[in-house]
Chains A and B, each alone.
Chain A
Amino acid sequence: MKTSGFHVAAEMSRRTWAKALRRPVVLSFSLIQPMLWMLLFGFLFQRYRIETGETRYLDFLIPGICSMTVLFGTSQSGIELIRDMQTNFLGRLLSTPASRRVLLLGKLAADVSRVLMQASIVFVLGILIGGRVSPSISGLLLAILALALFGFAFASLSCIIALLTRAPEGMAVFVHVVNMPLLFTSTAFVPSRQMPPFLSTISQFNPLTLAVGALRGALLFRQLPSLLLCLLPLLALALIAFSAAAGLLRRATFD
């Protein structure tokens, strides 16, 4: 019997979604956290002079918080892999003839679609608390594409860490060592022109800045994200990270 790649990916996605829905507390916390950040940073930075041009700070912040939601959500992707290692279930999945690349793709598709939905909810809540954002349909679709590529890259990276460390502690370190610096060296909360020069330079190479820039262009300024400057680097990052994660999974051995 030959396995159907689409069937395998769909079943893996279905499983990942079903498990996520069984943890409503985790799901709701991953929504509460960005909302808190939006409210706290919104009120905090309104008191200071943030050079966002004609744009109100809350409007400027919404794309940053949406991107942050994707960053934080996808960085948890590897935890599920570690759970599967601890229950020996991953080894059982890998003992089947299904392609390991497709198994990973199905899982990541579910993880990314889930965080995109969470980011969409954060976006709507941002508008409900006073954000003024009115994107075009094409801008919205490209913004979603940019976030999806970014999410795919970071979910893959999270899986790489999981496969290398095989320990939940490794994921905690990853979240603190990678996420926080990435967040605060990006333009998610502050425009780069208000950063110190070295930080401004770093922020230009920060993938979160790419995602945030694509979202701001598409959602605030009705400028379609630049294919060359935003989408292609994000696509390249997603492909490289996924290939590395799939390569690790292919070589991995479990009892």
Chain B
Amino acid sequence: MPTTNHPAATVNAVRKVYPGGRVALNGVTLTIAPHAVTAIAGPNGSGKTTLLKMLAGTLPPSSGSIEVLGVDPASCADSLRSRMAFASQDIALDPEMTGAQTLRLFAALYGIPRDQAPPKVQALANAFQLSGHLGSRVQAFSGGLRRRLHLAIAFLHDPELLLLDEPTAGLDPSGRELLWGLIRSHALRATSAVLVTHDLHEAERYCDRVAILARGNLLALGSPKDLIRAHSGWTVELTLEETIAEDDARLRALASVDGVTALRAKDRRVLLELSEDRQIKHSVLSKLSSVGLEVSRFRAFEPDLAGAYFRLTGESAEPSPTAGAAADRESAREGRGRRREAAS
């Protein structure tokens, strides 16, 4: 059992090059805090799943070293299997087995004694709200139920370290709440959890630490609060009465307002990124009025993890000149970040 002084895992200068030369991880160094929930976030192809598989011991690094629960996962895989659990992004279940058969089989495989297995399975089924489905075959389960059963297996033996790859994918909002509650309650009972997620809102709300990867590099690691403080700011979204070109002089005037760090425009929509000072938006409003731009809608978003993510990964801080890419970023912001809109 890791103590507060011993990290759940350490990753030291790890590099992973796949056959064909693709660099998945490029000298990543990080420490996974014990008894905490750590999220790994990053764009597709940034190396998140590669890192998780390396922690699980299923993928060796090309160079560098990894220590999980005090041992090398590659050479001590057998001993680690009883101490940790890895739930892949792809659901790994036998569609012909029932839910009860699946959990009973894995209870045996994880060494849970015969007499303790039935209450353990029942408790877990209750926790994951699977009780009413245990007698049904997995092939009759909905996608969400399958995901719950897939994840429930990982919790069977109360592992010291939980490794979950996109655990909330396919879960409905209540399923997500349920899962996060279970992960948090296990963290309180001395389990460390590392999970890959694209949901920055949930990472901010439920995770103790967040690591942000891009193109195989670790960009930042810290508590959501620290990351937001260091890398995020206010964002203002304007909907104008008229369509405006990105090189319009009135927009340039708006971009010159002290505290505006970036500006993008597409059709009638204008996005402004501000430094942390909330008062800047009043200056923006004044400038809008002075340059004669009429606004039909004004929305301001608080600094959040999504903002930090976009600035760190470069998707927001260095806007692409193409309108398509800007639209992609905006939809990503809305879909993934669900940023908090401030009263304005």
In the complex, whether A91 has a CB less than 8 A from a CB of chain B is yes
Given contacts A95-B81, A97-B82, contact A89 B94 (CB under 8 A): yes
- Which of A11, A92, A103 sits near B153, CB closer than 8 Å? A92
- Which of A2, A10, A91, A97 sits near B88, CB closer than 8 Å? A91
**Can you give 13 A-B contacts (C-beta < 8 A)?**
A1-B113, A11-B108, A12-B105, A15-B97, A18-B97, A18-B101, A19-B94, A91-B92, A95-B58, A97-B111, A98-B111, A103-B109, A255-B90
- Which of B86, B97, B106, B111 gathers most chain A CB within 10 Å? B111
Question: In whole angstroms, what is the CA distance A95 to B95 when docked?
Answer: 19
- Which of A19, A87, A88, A97 sits near B109, CB closer than 8 Å? A97
Question: In whole angstroms, what is the CA distance A95 to B83 when docked?
Answer: 11
- Which of A1, A12, A84, A103 sits near B82, CB closer than 8 Å? A1
**A 84-106 binary contact with B (CB < 8 Å = 1; else 0):** 10011101110111100001000
The 8 closest A-B pairs by CB, nearest first: A1-B111, A88-B92, A97-B82, A3-B111, A96-B109, A11-B108, A92-B92, A97-B81
Question: In whole angstroms, what is the CA distance A15 to B112 when docked?
Answer: 17
Question: In whole angstroms, what is the CA distance A253 to B57 when docked?
Answer: 10
Quote the shortest CB–CB distance from A13 to chain B (angstroms). Answer: 11
Chain A residues, Cβ within 8 Å of B112: 1
Chain B residues, Cβ within 8 Å of A2: 82, 111
- Judge whether A97 and B58 touch: CB under 8 Å: no
Quote the shortest CB–CB distance from A182 to chain B (angstroms). Answer: 30
Chain A residues, Cβ within 8 Å of B81: 95-97
Interface size on B, residues (CB 8 A): 30
Question: In whole angstroms, what is the CA distance A87 to B53 when docked?
Answer: 18
In the complex, whether A4 has a CB less than 8 A from a CB of chain B is yes
Chain B residues, Cβ within 8 Å of A8: 108-109
In the complex, whether B96 has a CB less than 8 A from a CB of chain A is yes
Residue of B nearest to A96 (CB): B109
Question: In whole angstroms, what is the CA distance A96 to B58 when docked?
Answer: 12
In the complex, whether A22 has a CB less than 8 A from a CB of chain B is yes
Given contacts A3-B108, A8-B109, A18-B101, contact A88 B90 (CB under 8 A): yes
Quote the shortest CB–CB distance from B102 to chain A (angstroms). Answer: 9
In the complex, whether B93 has a CB less than 8 A from a CB of chain A is yes
Given contacts A15-B97, A87-B93, A96-B81, contact A7 B108 (CB under 8 A): yes
Chain B residues, Cβ within 8 Å of A255: 53, 58, 88, 90
Chain A residues, Cβ within 8 Å of B297: none
- Judge whether A97 and B110 touch: CB under 8 Å: yes
- Judge whether A11 and B104 touch: CB under 8 Å: yes
- Judge whether A11 and B105 touch: CB under 8 Å: yes
Chain A residues, Cβ within 8 Å of B86: 95
**A 1-33 binary contact with B (CB < 8 Å = 1; else 0):** 111100110111001001100100000000000
Residue of B nearest to A91 (CB): B92
Quote the shortest CB–CB distance from A8 to chain B (angstroms). Answer: 5
In the complex, whether B282 has a CB less than 8 A from a CB of chain A is no
Chain A residues, Cβ within 8 Å of B97: 15, 18-19
- Judge whether B88 and A7 touch: CB under 8 Å: no
